[in-house]
Amino acid sequence: MSEKIIIKADPDLIDLIPGYLDKRREDIGTIHALLADGNFEGIRILAHRMKGSGGGYGFDRITEIGAAMEIAAKDQSKERITHELEQLSEFLSRVEVVE
């Protein structure tokens, strides 16, 4: 089993973080569906939002993944998008938020 990734949450955001992380989990399924449809622009938009929001919630790794996925979507690289989805899924499965 992989080690947990501990993130110290901003007390002002602690109540919003579970919903934020749930939304990123939903994004995984959405992006898989967009990928199956070849909708790279839809993926780029979602990835851009992840890139912009991750750091604000204290999740720099989500920002990094979003940035890489945005570039992959612009390049229409299914392989790189899939890789970043795996990275996001792994991160979300390991992250633990503490106050």
Structural domains in the chain (count): 1
Whether 65 is in a domain gets the answer yes
Whether 81 is in a domain gets the answer yes
**What is the rounded CA–CA span in Å between residue 23 and residue 75?**
25
Whether 67 is in a domain gets the answer yes
**What is the rounded CA–CA span in Å between residue 38 and residue 73?**
10
pLDDT attached to residue 97? 94
Instruction: Give the global pTM.
Output: 0.94
pLDDT attached to residue 1? 59
Bridge partners of residue 7, in order along the sequence: 97
pLDDT attached to residue 99? 87
Whether 12 is in a domain gets the answer no
Whether 24 is in a domain gets the answer no
Whether 72 is in a domain gets the answer yes
Whether 16 is in a domain gets the answer no
Q: Which domain holds residue 41?
A: 34-94
Q: CA gyration radius for the chain?
A: 13
Residue with tokens 């749930």: 22
Is residue 57 helix, strand or coil?
Answer: helix
* Closest CA relative to residue 14, chosen from 91, 97, 95, 88: 97
What mean pLDDT comes out for the span 65-94?
Answer: 98
pLDDT tens-digit readout, 25-58: 999 999 999 999 999 999 999 999 999 999 999 9
**Is the CB of residue 97 less than 8 Å from the CB of residue 20?**
no
What mean pLDDT comes out for the span 3-12?
Answer: 93
Establish how many alpha carbons lie within 13 A of residue 26's alpha carbon, considering only the half-sphere containing its beta carbon: 7
Q: Has residue 4 got a pLDDT over 80?
A: yes
What is the percentage of the chain residues whose pLDDT exceeds 90?
95
Q: Share the mean pLDDT of the chain.
A: 96
Whether 23 is in a domain gets the answer no
